[in-house]
Amino acid sequence: MKFVKAFFSVGITFLLIWVLETKLGDIPPLGEFLNPVTGFWQNAESKNIMPTENLRLKGLYGKVIIKYDEHRIPHIFAANDHDLYFAQGYVTARDRLWQMDIQTRSASGRLSEIVGPKALEIDQYHRRTGMVFAAENALKGMFKNPVSHLMIVAYTDGVNNYIHQLAPENYPIEFKLLDYAPEEWKPINCALLLKLMSEILAGGSDQFGMTNNLKRFGAQAVNDLFPDYPFHEDPIIPIGTKWNFKPLPIPKPSASFMAQMTEGIKTHEIIDGIGSNNWAISGSKTANGYPILANDPHLDLSFPSIWYQLQMSSPTVNVYGVSLPGSPCIIIGYNQKISWGVTNVDAAVLDWYQIKFKDDTKSEYWYNNQWSKVKKRIEVIKVRGGKPVIDTVLYTHHGPVVYETEAKKPPGHHGNIPVGNAMRWLAHDESDDIMTFHLLNRGKNYNDYREALKYYTCPAQNFIFASSDNDIAITPNGKFPLKFKDQGKFILDGSDPANDWHGWIPAEQNPTIKNPPRGFVSSANQSSTDPTYPYYINWKFEQYYRGKRINDRLGAMKNATADSFRKIQTDNYSILAQDVLPTMLKYLDRSKMNNDHLTALAIVTNWNKHYDANSVGASIFNKWWIKLYDTIWRDHFAVKGIILKTPSYDRTEKLLLTEPSSYWFDNVHTPAKESGSDIVNIAFNSTINEMVKKFGKPGHKWQWGLVKKTYINHLANLPGFGTGEFFAGGTGGVINALKNNNGPSWRMVVQMGPVVKGYGVFPGGESGNPGSFYYSDMFKTWKDGKLNELLFLNSATDNSKRIKSTLVLN
C-alpha cells in the first residue's frame, strides 16, 4: 500500500513537471513561462532606471557614449564609424531583438521552423519568390563597397555581442511564448530586411487580373477602363516641367502574343490606398525664411513599432531620425544641413513572363528561338514537429518560376500541365541601397543629395529634400527598367527577347525638380510626371487625392511653421468627396425617402467632407461611395473562378461625372437598363437601410471613428499586446491615411535654419518589450496628432535635462 501511494505520488509529480515543461500546441511550456525565476515575470522592467551603466564589449575600437532621453531614444556618440554602427546594432538588438529575428525569419521563409506547419504556405511563398536569392545578391553588392561592408559587419557584430551575453531568462518575452532561442545574426539578415521592404512596397502585381480583363472585355474596353494616365491628376513633377536631357531611344513593343492565363496564381494584389506623404516648402513661404520638410510613411502599423528612433554621431556624421531594426543607418531624418524623407513610387519593377518548357522535366525553356537551361534551387523548409519540406524552385534568366502548377493543382483537375510564369523582379538584382543612406546621413547640400540617390535601386522612392542653403527638391528615384509603353501591364511572353527589360533609364534622367517656381515640392505616391516624360515608369500610380489636397494647402500657405505642417499631416479632408458628392446628391430622388433617409441625407449634405472621428457624414458618404462603386462594377468584374482587376476610383469618378448613361452602369443581371442616377439611388438606399439595421437611427453610433475600425496589433497578434480598437479619424484617400491597422508609421517635420529643429513621433515606443514603460509611451501623442520635439545633441557633453541615463560601451 505504501508502495502504491508513493508510486502514484512520484508519478503525478513527474507528470506535472513534464506537462509544465512541454509545449502543447501553441501553448508554451507553462512551468518555463510562469515561474518567476526564468519565466515571463523576468521581462517586467523596473521603473527605476540606472543613471549610468558601463559595459565591456569585445570588438569595439574605442569608447562609445550613449545618452538615453525621456523616451529612451538613444543618442550615440562614437569615436569612429565602425564603433557607431556597432553601437547601433547593439542598442537596436537590446530593444528589438525579437522583431529583428521574426522579420528576417519571415523574409527568408523560416517561420515554420518555430511555429510549425501553419506557416508553411507563407514560407513557401517567400522561398519561391526568391527572397533569399534577392538578399544574397544584395549582400554581394554591398560587400563590393568597402563602406557598406564596414557598416554591415560592424552592425552585425554589435547585434551578436548583445545576443551572446543574453541569458535565457532575459530573452524577449516572445521567445518564451513561442519557445525558441535567438540565433546568431548574419550579415544577410540586414539584406533580408531591405528585401522585406521591397516586397511590401514593390512586390505586388495586377498583371493576372489585367490579362484576364483583356481576354474577357477586349482591348478597347480595357484601354478605356484602365487608362495609362488618370482622369484627375496632380503629378509630383509639376505639369509642364521641361525635360533638359536627351532621352535614350525607347524600345519597340514586341510583336509577340499575349500570354495565356491558365491558373489562379496567388501573389498579393496591389492594394490601393497604401502610400505615404512628403513635402517641403521653400524659405520664401515660411515664417523664419528657411525651408520646412515633412514626411509620413504609411505602413501596416504594429507593435513593436516599425521604426527605431535614434541619433548617431561620429567624427564623420551627426544625424537624427528613424532606422529599420536590422539595418544600419538612418532611413528618414535630418542633420544640421539637410533633411530628407521618402514615399513609395509605384514603379513597374515586377513583371511576369510566361515560360514554355521543353518537357516535363522542366530543365529547359524556350527563349530566343532555342532551348535554355533552367537553374534549379533546392529549398529546404524545416518544420517544427514535422519532417522538412523540400521544394525545388526553377530559375530562368528572368527569375524564379514562382508557382509550379503541377504540385499545386487541385486534385481531379486533369489536362495539360499549365505553364508557370517567371517573375522578373528588380529586387533580385545586385544592389547597394544602403550606401544612399550612408551618404544622405552625411549630406551637406543639394549636390550630396543627388550623389546619394545614384546608389538607390529598389523599392523606388520619392526622395524629398530640404537644406539650410534654402534648396528644396524631389526625385522619384530608383533603378527604372527601360521599357516600351505598357510593357508589363499584361503578362509577357518569356520566349521573346523583345519582351526583356531593355536596360535602364539613366539615373540622372530620373524625374527630378529643384526649387520650382510654386515654392514647394510634394509627393503622395501619385504619377511621377505628366505624360510628356519620355520614359515609361508605370501605367498606374496611387490616385491623386492626397497629393491634390497637399498641393492645395501648400499653394495657399504663407509664413509656414512646423506647426502648420503638423496640421496638414493630420488633415482629414476628402478630395474624392469634393469631386463626387455634389453629383451623387444631384442624382438622388427625394420623393420616396423615409425619415431615416431624409435625416441621413441632411447630414451628408451638410458634411464638411472631413473624415473626422466624430463625423457622421463621413460614415454615410464612405459607405455610399463604396456601395456605388461595387454596384457599378460587381456584375461585370466579380466572376467566380477568374481573377479580374476592377477599375480604379479615378475611372469610376470619370464614369459618374462624364458618362452618366454608360453601358457599365447597367446591371447585366436585371432586365431593366440602369443609368448612373439609378445606381446612385440604389446605393444610397441600401447604405442607409444597412446602417439603420446595424447602428440604429442616424446618431452618435454612426460616428466615423466608431464605424471605422482602427487598431494596432502586436506582430504576433497577441491579445493584450496591442492597442485594441481606438477612436480615430482619417481614411485611405486623405492625408491622414489612417484606416484599420494601416497609416502614418512615423510623422516627422523638420524646420531648417541656422539651428535645425526636428519634430516627430511614431505610434508605439522605442522598446519592443511589452513589459517596458517605453513600449507604447509615444502612442497617445501620435493618436492625438501631436509631435514630440526631437532632441538633437551636438556632442556627448552637450547637457540636456531630457537625458535620463547614460550607457558607456568600451
Partner 1 sequence: MLFLIILILSFICGFFLPWWVASVVAFLVAFFIGKTSLPSFWSGFSAIFIVWAALALLKTLPNDNILAGRVVQLFPLPHNWIWLLLVTAVVGGLVGGMAALSGVLIKKIFRS
Choose the stretch contacting partner 1; rule: CB under 8 A; options: 4-12, 102-110, 375-383, 498-506: 4-12
Chain centroid, CA 366 distance in Å: 36
Chain centroid, CA 339 distance in Å: 21
Closer residue to partner 1 in complex, CB, 16/598: 16
Q: Cβ 171 to partner 1, closest distance in Å?
A: 14
Q: How far is CA 135 from CA 18, 159, 190, 421, in A?
A: 41, 19, 8, 21
Q: Is 90 among the residues that bind partner 1 (CB under 8 A)?
A: no
Q: Is 805 among the residues that bind partner 1 (CB under 8 A)?
A: no
- Residue 651 near residue 225 (C-beta atoms within 8 A): yes
Of residues 226-255, those binding partner 1 (CB under 8 A) = none
Closer residue to partner 1 in complex, CB, 723/742: 723
Choose the stretch contacting partner 1; rule: CB under 8 A; options: 129-137, 198-206, 622-630, 771-779: 771-779
The amino acid that residue 766 corresponds to is: E
Q: Is 219 among the residues that bind partner 1 (CB under 8 A)?
A: no
Q: Is 46 among the residues that bind partner 1 (CB under 8 A)?
A: yes
- Residue 562 near residue 757 (C-beta atoms within 8 A): yes
Q: CA 280 to CA 292: how far, in whole Å?
A: 6
Contact track, partner 1, 354-393, x by CB under 8 A: ----------------------------------------
3-state secondary structure 732-793: CCCCCCCEECEEECCEEEEECCCCCEEEEECCCCCCCCCCCCCCCCCHHHHHCCCCEECCCC
Residue given cell 503622395 in the structure block: 524
Closer residue to partner 1 in complex, CB, 31/753: 31
Closer residue to partner 1 in complex, CB, 249/720: 720
Choose the stretch contacting partner 1; rule: CB under 8 A; options: 44-52, 352-360, 633-641, 733-741: 44-52
DSSP 201-214: HH----HHHHHHHH
Q: Is 671 among the residues that bind partner 1 (CB under 8 A)?
A: no
Q: Cβ 775 to partner 1, closest distance in Å?
A: 8
Q: Cβ 110 to partner 1, closest distance in Å?
A: 24
304: preceding bond cis by omega (within 30 degrees): yes
Q: Cβ 114 to partner 1, closest distance in Å?
A: 17
Kind and range of the H or E run holding 220: helix 207-225
Q: Cβ 166 to partner 1, closest distance in Å?
A: 16
Closer residue to partner 1 in complex, CB, 29/251: 29
680-686 contact pairs (CB < 8 A, 24+)? 680/584, 680/587, 680/588, 680/628, 680/656, 681/587, 681/588, 681/589, 682/631, 683/624, 683/627, 683/628, 683/631, 684/584, 684/588, 684/597, 684/601, 684/624, 684/627, 685/597, 686/627
Closer residue to partner 1 in complex, CB, 20/221: 20
Q: Is 430 among the residues that bind partner 1 (CB under 8 A)?
A: no
Q: Cβ 772 to partner 1, closest distance in Å?
A: 8
Q: Cβ 168 to partner 1, closest distance in Å?
A: 9
Phi, psi of 136 (to 5 degrees): -60, -40
Choose the stretch contacting partner 1; rule: CB under 8 A; options: 38-46, 337-345, 491-499, 597-605: 38-46
Choose the stretch contacting partner 1; rule: CB under 8 A; options: 3-11, 393-401, 572-580, 597-605: 3-11
Q: Cβ 100 to partner 1, closest distance in Å?
A: 21
Of residues 48-67, those binding partner 1 (CB under 8 A) = 48
Residues facing 136 on adjacent strands: none
Q: Is 417 among the residues that bind partner 1 (CB under 8 A)?
A: no
Q: Cβ 104 to partner 1, closest distance in Å?
A: 25
Q: Cβ 39 to partner 1, closest distance in Å?
A: 7
Closer residue to partner 1 in complex, CB, 31/59: 31
The amino acid that residue 49 corresponds to is: I
Q: Is 41 among the residues that bind partner 1 (CB under 8 A)?
A: yes
Q: Is 720 among the residues that bind partner 1 (CB under 8 A)?
A: yes
- Residue 71 near residue 766 (C-beta atoms within 8 A): yes
Chain centroid, CA 358 distance in Å: 39
Q: Which residues of 597-631 are buried (b: 16+ CB within 10 A; e: fewer)?
A: bebbbebbeebebbbbbebbbbbbbbbbbebbbeb
Q: CA 730 to CA 613: how far, in whole Å?
A: 7
Residues facing 357 on adjacent strands: 365
Closer residue to partner 1 in complex, CB, 4/390: 4
DSSP 337-386: SEEEEEEE-----EEEEE--BSSTT--EEEETTEEEEPEEEEEEE--TTS
Of residues 154-183, those binding partner 1 (CB under 8 A) = 173, 177
- Look at residues 335, 337, 280, 293 and name the one whose alpha carbon lies nearest to residue 312: 335
Count interface residues toward partner 1 (CB under 8 A).
40
Closer residue to partner 1 in complex, CB, 12/598: 12
Q: CA 337 to CA 446: how far, in whole Å?
A: 10
Q: CA 463 to CA 476: how far, in whole Å?
A: 6
Closer residue to partner 1 in complex, CB, 333/770: 770
- Residue 725 near residue 745 (C-beta atoms within 8 A): no
Of residues 17-36, those binding partner 1 (CB under 8 A) = 17, 20-21, 30-32, 34-36
Q: Cβ 73 to partner 1, closest distance in Å?
A: 20
Closer residue to partner 1 in complex, CB, 5/640: 5
Among 86, 185, 721, 779, binds partner 1 (CB under 8 A): 721
- Residue 763 near residue 598 (C-beta atoms within 8 A): no
Q: Is 642 among the residues that bind partner 1 (CB under 8 A)?
A: no
Among 16, 181, 602, 755, binds partner 1 (CB under 8 A): 16
Choose the stretch contacting partner 1; rule: CB under 8 A; options: 429-437, 505-513, 601-609, 769-777: 769-777
Residue given cell 509656414 in the structure block: 560
Closer residue to partner 1 in complex, CB, 34/639: 34
Closer residue to partner 1 in complex, CB, 326/722: 722
Choose the stretch contacting partner 1; rule: CB under 8 A; options: 1-9, 280-288, 308-316, 669-677: 1-9
Among 61, 504, 726, 773, binds partner 1 (CB under 8 A): 773
Q: Cβ 45 to partner 1, closest distance in Å?
A: 6
Q: Is 304 among the residues that bind partner 1 (CB under 8 A)?
A: no
- Residue 209 near residue 645 (C-beta atoms within 8 A): yes
Phi, psi of 395 (to 5 degrees): -115, 125
Q: Cβ 20 to partner 1, closest distance in Å?
A: 7
Closer residue to partner 1 in complex, CB, 682/718: 718
3-state SS class at 401: strand
Q: Is 595 among the residues that bind partner 1 (CB under 8 A)?
A: no
Q: CA 672 to CA 663: how far, in whole Å?
A: 12
Of residues 681-700, those binding partner 1 (CB under 8 A) = none
Choose the stretch contacting partner 1; rule: CB under 8 A; options: 43-51, 321-329, 454-462, 471-479: 43-51
Q: Round the CA-based radius of gyration of the chain to a whole number and report it.
A: 28
Q: Cβ 780 to partner 1, closest distance in Å?
A: 15
Closer residue to partner 1 in complex, CB, 173/734: 173
Q: CA 426 to CA 108: how far, in whole Å?
A: 17
- Residue 503 near residue 486 (C-beta atoms within 8 A): no
- Look at residues 236, 194, 227, 431 and name the one whose alpha carbon lies nearest to residue 326: 194
Binding site for partner 1 (CB under 8 A): 2-3, 5-6, 9-10, 12-13, 16-17, 20-21, 30-32, 34-48, 173, 177, 718-721, 770-771, 773, 775
